[in-house]
Amino acid sequence: MSTLSHLETSTPAVPRHQRQPGEARGAFLSRKAKAYLALTKPRVIELLLVTTLPTMIFAQRGWPDVIAMLATNIGGAMAAGSAGVFNCYFDRDMDKVMNRTKNRPLVTGEITPNAALVFGWILGVLSIAVLWAGTNLLTAALGLAAILFYVVLYTLILKRKTTQNIVWGGIAGCMPVLIAWAAVKNTIEWPAIVLFLIIFLWTPPHYWPLSMKYSEDYERADVPMLGAVAQGRTVSAQVVVYAWATVACSLLLIPMGDAGIVYTVVALASGGWFIWESHILHREAAQDHSAKSLNRKAMRVFHLSIMYLTLLFIGLAIDPFVGSPLLG
């Protein structure tokens, strides 16, 4: 065997987490930055931030303190990012067998597990420090609780064991409204609890349609998401029930004397739309339409649920600037 042939067969390939042969330093750093960002699940962070600032405005009945606003949003984003990194770390075995997640950085080898773990801890510690320094101790404690709920309760305890995983594990996604309220008021009041319950009830009809679409993925990973273990008509019936409960809960702010005309109109209009589309999904499932058709309807409800929550909290943010509460 020639020397060249020997080198070609014995020299190991450069691991993906290292700089590739011929790769410019700038390109390498850019690739790494994108990989670390992907670990934080930025789309989830975006959705959480949609609820944070509007809640602060609603609690303040106007623009909150700039420092508190920046600290809450930055610290909250870092806390959510930390939870996302730990989730990717602990779920990397199942991510490997799911088409939806097989390109995550820990699966492809772009980032090593140890590096991800260190990154998650750094983000988590910094998030609590930012929340505490920029707001108050209660806000920081709630930020820590949000991380623990997502990583421990959902990822480590519930996700692989029960079809109710997303229901109770979804508590982590409800925490930003409590964090936002505490950042303004340094306490938790009834309107904040109602906002918490809205997101708690919204999470199942938001996520279960997605689990219908990716049921085969969850089956391969042996994760008992409801959409993977139950018939479409059963899942869609639950989506309808939770959609009604979400909208009913959103209307509680009106008789409580906190909501004005903008929030009321948005809650009724967008809520009605959410419920209507949920019923269409259930009708599709009950009539045993093709899987392709059902998945298309399921994804429509999934995307609509995001739009519903976004509109609801936009209405919440505008409401304090337009008149007084209806029943105040």
DSSP result, 155-182: IIIITTT-TTHHHHHTHHHHHHHHHHHH
| pLDDT the model gives residue 19 | 63
Residues 6+ apart with CB under 8 A from 208: 166, 225, 226, 227, 235, 238, 239
Max Cα–Cα distance, the chain, nearest Å: 88
∠ CA 79-208-271, rounded to 5°: 85
φ, ψ at 111 (rounded to 5°): -130, 140
Average pLDDT per consecutive 10 residues, the chain (328 residues; last block may be shorter): 36 56 75 94 91 97 96 97 97 93 94 96 98 98 97 94 91 96 97 97 95 90 90 93 98 92 96 97 83 86 96 96 73
Is the C-alpha dihedral spanning 257, 258, 259, 261 positive or negative?
A: positive
Q: Round to whole Å and give the CA distance between 123 and 84.
A: 10
Of the candidates 88, 75, 94, the one whose C-alpha atom is nearest the C-alpha of residue 119 is 88
Contact between 79 and 147 (Cβ < 8 Å): yes
DSSP result, 93-155: HHHTT-TTTTTSHHHHTSS-HHHHHHHHHHHHHHHHHHHHHHT-HHHHHHHHHHHHIIIIIII
